[in-house]
């Protein structure tokens, strides 16, 4: 069976129509092994260089046609070899992206190639990655939906990743061979049935578990993109000596893991004694250069910016807009998981504030390309101990003032001078957004009560859940509103604070849902007494 759709018959329309016109025999294809197909370069439709996943009977020269394993990967091949044989390692030329100043109200012609090492515009503004939307719009929503849907759950390089399954919208010009991926993304969207019903009288509450990921946080989504681009740059820019970040624990873990996977030196600046042990051990184990500094995150951030200006170390914080291209795929994924229906609300914990903008960007892109018809209202949730955005919102967005962030159990968002403040304000203003805050007691109690319904939440998710509870109480969020809470990290990174909570060791905190273990003598009588005191059983 022919494996290539011939382009000369193509008259436009969606991809499926295009395939239908060109090769009716695709319909007959029911091969055991899905393979990726590069369409004919001659196709007038322009899909010529777009990669799509289609089940096909492949005249693969490397497999014996009569073999029952026809189409399967040879045992000597890696998944990259397989992709190479199918011509999938070269990037398509159809799509492109560049850096532009983040200046949505005053458009400018200033732009930079993604291969340049640049983090700010000429006048010091943040940058944004701008895609050639006209090129993307040449394909209709049906095309993008079926392309993205066809890639979910596969092991085909690199589309098995939830980030790279959206590659055309992320970093289209990168050679797939340069990608450094742990098949991140595709994270669980959990229906919080009991928490929703019993705590909030809600029937459509969801938690997007971005922390169930390679290094245990959503940072993997951005870091696969950034480290892949660095992997490419290092081949041509021999000066680059490594990649560095300041971190409250999750960014450093992700950077270290992806750098280790690629053999690239990672340098991480951490505020001493302000991150969890689980977070600290991650870069140590992955062989990063770990500097534990006697300052807070904002101090580490200032230092890494100074250092990366003086030495050729690539900056991996979300000041670098490449990161947000990966993070925005979580928003696209949410739409996809709801079969391209848009939730009413999405609640995101906020510290350095790159992620709230990344979500906004993902939702806007889905809408602009016709996959969805609106964007959700965004809520950014901050810890009251580190709440510069909340104060700015309450002041009617007048005169942003950084704050000195106080210690919070939500340590990953203990940030007083967020780098992405302008991006966040823009995202919130344009999504009819809201900012909420949570005290230490509120966030710990919210995390604990969610855990009692089967989750295992990090304190930052506790901040978002607490924001939800407040907005629900005020009936800003309605009982039937489809609401997604973004869980940013895995609860297992934060066992120290959870143990302190359940042991009722936190001074001044009413740990409403503490469930300390009972210390019981190992004899039947004592065990029965303990059970009697806990269960209303006639034992």
Q: Which residues bind ligand LJ64HWYM (CB under 6 A)?
A: 219, 247-252, 317-318, 351-352, 354, 412
Residue whose CB is less far from ligand LJ64HWYM, 54 or 304: 304
Q: To the nearest whole angstrom, how small is the minimum distance from the Cβ of residue 537 to ligand LJ64HWYM?
A: 45
**Which is nearer to ligand LJ64HWYM, 53 or 256 (by Cβ)?**
256
Q: What is the closest distance, in whole angstroms, from the C-beta atom of residue 250 to ligand LJ64HWYM in the complex?
A: 3
Residues whose CB is less than 8 angstroms from the CB of residue 135 and which lie 6 or more positions away in sequence, other chains included: 94, 95, 96
- Eight-state DSSP code of residue 386: G
By beta-carbon proximity to ligand LJ64HWYM, the closer residue of 34 and 211 is 211
CB of 391 to ligand LJ64HWYM, least distance (A): 19
DSSP letter for each residue of 225-269: HHHHHHHHHHHH-TT--EEEEE-SSHHHHHHHHHHHHHT--EEEE
Can you tell me whether residue 302 is helix, strand or coil? helix
Minimum CB distance to ligand LJ64HWYM smaller for 50 or for 424:
424
Nearer Cβ to ligand LJ64HWYM, position 231 or 282?
Answer: 282
- The contacts of residue 303 (CB under 8 Å, 6+ apart) are 246, 269, 293, 295
CB 229 within 8 Å of CB 174: yes
Tokens 């060109």 -> residue: 22
- Closer CB to ligand LJ64HWYM, residue 296 or residue 436? 296
Shortest CB 506 distance to ligand LJ64HWYM, Å: 22
Q: Between residues 71 and 211, which has the closer beta carbon with respect to ligand LJ64HWYM?
A: 211
Token pair 């919130």 is found at 428
In the complex, what is the shortest distance from the CB of residue 115 to ligand LJ64HWYM, in angstroms, rounded to a whole number? 22
Beta carbon of residue 283, minimum distance to ligand LJ64HWYM (angstroms, whole number): 11
- Closer residue to ligand LJ64HWYM (CB): 37 or 227: 227
Q: What gap in Å lies between CA 208 and CA 199, rounded to an integer?
A: 18
Q: Could you tell me the smallest distance in angstroms from the CB atom of residue 335 to ligand LJ64HWYM?
A: 23
Q: Is the Cα dihedral 78, 83, 86, 89 positive or negative?
A: negative
Place of tokens 């490397």: 62
Three-class DSSP category at 169? helix
How many angstroms from the chain centroid is the CA of residue 98?
21
Pairing between strand 127-131 and 97-101?
antiparallel
Which of 470, 322, 478 lies closest to 390, judged by CA? 470
Choice between 269 and 501, CB closer to ligand LJ64HWYM:
269
Residue whose C-alpha is closest to residue 125's, from 502, 423, 338, 374: 423
CA distance 190 to 477: 19
Least distance CB 227 / ligand LJ64HWYM (angstroms): 13
Nearer to ligand LJ64HWYM, 196 or 349 (CB): 349
Tell me whether residue 41 is exposed, middle or buried, using C-beta atoms within 10 angstroms of its C-beta: 0 to 12, 13 to 18, 19 or more: exposed
The structure tokens listed for 206 are: 């969801």
Q: How far is the CB of 293 from ligand LJ64HWYM (least distance, A)?
A: 13
Nearer to ligand LJ64HWYM, 95 or 357 (CB): 357
Taking alpha carbons only, the member of 133, 172, 159 closest to residue 366 is 133
Residue 234: CB minimum distance to ligand LJ64HWYM, A: 21
158 or 249: CB nearest ligand LJ64HWYM: 249
Query: Where is 487: in which H helix or E strand?
Result: strand 483-487
Report, in Å, the least distance between residue 6 CB and ligand LJ64HWYM: 47
C-beta of 108: minimal distance to ligand LJ64HWYM in Å? 25
| 187-223: burial string, b at 16+ Cβ within 10 Å, e else | bebbebeebbeebbebebbbbbbbbbbbbbbbbbbbb
For CA atoms 410, 412, 413, 415, the dihedral sign is: positive
């Amino acid at each position: 069976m022919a494996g290539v759709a011939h382009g000369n018959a193509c008259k436009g329309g969606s991809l499926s129509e295009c395939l239908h016109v060109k090769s009716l025999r695709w319909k007959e294809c029911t091969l055991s092994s899905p393979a990726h197909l590069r369409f004919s370069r001659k196709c007038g439709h322009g899909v010529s260089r777009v990669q799509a996943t289609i089940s096909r009977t492949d005249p693969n020269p490397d497999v014996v046609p009569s073999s029952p394993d026809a189409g399967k990967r040879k045992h000597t091949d890696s998944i990259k070899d397989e992709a190479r044989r199918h011509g999938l390692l070269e990037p398509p030329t159809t799509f492109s992206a560049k850096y532009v100043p983040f200046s949505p109200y005053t458009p400018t012609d200033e732009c930079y190639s993604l291969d340049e090492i640049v983090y700010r515009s000429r006048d010091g503004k943040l940058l944004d990655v701008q895609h050639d939307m006209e090129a993307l719009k040449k394909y209709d929503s049906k095309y993008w939906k079926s392309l993205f849907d066809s890639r979910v759950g596969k092991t085909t390089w690199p589309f098995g990743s939830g980030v790279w399954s959206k590659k055309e919208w992320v970093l289209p010009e990168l050679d797939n061979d340069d990608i450094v991926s742990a098949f991140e993304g595709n994270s669980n969207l959990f229906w919080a049935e009991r928490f929703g019903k019993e705590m909030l009288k809600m029937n459509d509450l969801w938690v997007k578990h971005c922390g169930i990921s390679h290094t245990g946080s959503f940072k993997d989504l951005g870091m696969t993109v950034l480290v892949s681009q660095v992997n490419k740059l290092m081949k041509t820019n021999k000066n680059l000596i490594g990649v560095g970040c300041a971190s409250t624990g999750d960014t450093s873990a992700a950077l270290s893991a992806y750098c280790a996977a690629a053999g690239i030196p990672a340098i991480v600046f951490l505020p001493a004694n302000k991150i969890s042990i689980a977070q600290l051990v991650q870069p140590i184990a992955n062989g990063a250069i770990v500097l534990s500094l006697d300052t807070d995150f904002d101090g580490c951030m200032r230092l890494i910016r100074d250092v990366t200006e003086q030495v050729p170390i690539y900056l991996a914080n979300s000041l670098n807009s490449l990161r947000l291209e990966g993070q925005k795929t979580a928003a696209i994924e949410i739409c996809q998981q709801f079969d391209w229906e848009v939730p009413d609300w999405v609640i995101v914990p906020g510290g350095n504030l790159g992620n709230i903008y990344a979500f906004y960007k993902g939702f806007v892109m889905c809408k602009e390309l016709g996959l969805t018809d609106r964007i959700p209202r965004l809520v950014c949730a901050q810890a009251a101990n580190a709440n510069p955005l909340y104060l700015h919102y309450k002041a009617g967005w007048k005169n942003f003032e950084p704050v000195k962030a106080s210690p919070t159990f939500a340590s990953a968002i203990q940030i007083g001078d967020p780098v992405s403040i302008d991006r966040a304000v823009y995202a919130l203003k344009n999504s009819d957004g809201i900012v909420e805050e949570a005290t230490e007691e509120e966030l710990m109690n919210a995390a604990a009560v969610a855990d009692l319904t089967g989750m295992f939440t990090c304190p930052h998710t506790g901040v978002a859940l607490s924001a939800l509870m407040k907005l629900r109480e005020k009936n800003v969020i309605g009982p039937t509103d489809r609401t997604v809470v973004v869980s940013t990290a895995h609860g297992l990174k934060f066992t120290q604070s959870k143990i302190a909570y359940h042991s009722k060791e936190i001074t001044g905190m009413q740990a409403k849902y503490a469930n300390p273990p009972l210390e019981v003598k190992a004899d039947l009588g004592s065990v029965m007494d303990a059970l009697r005191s806990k269960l209303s059983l006639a034992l």
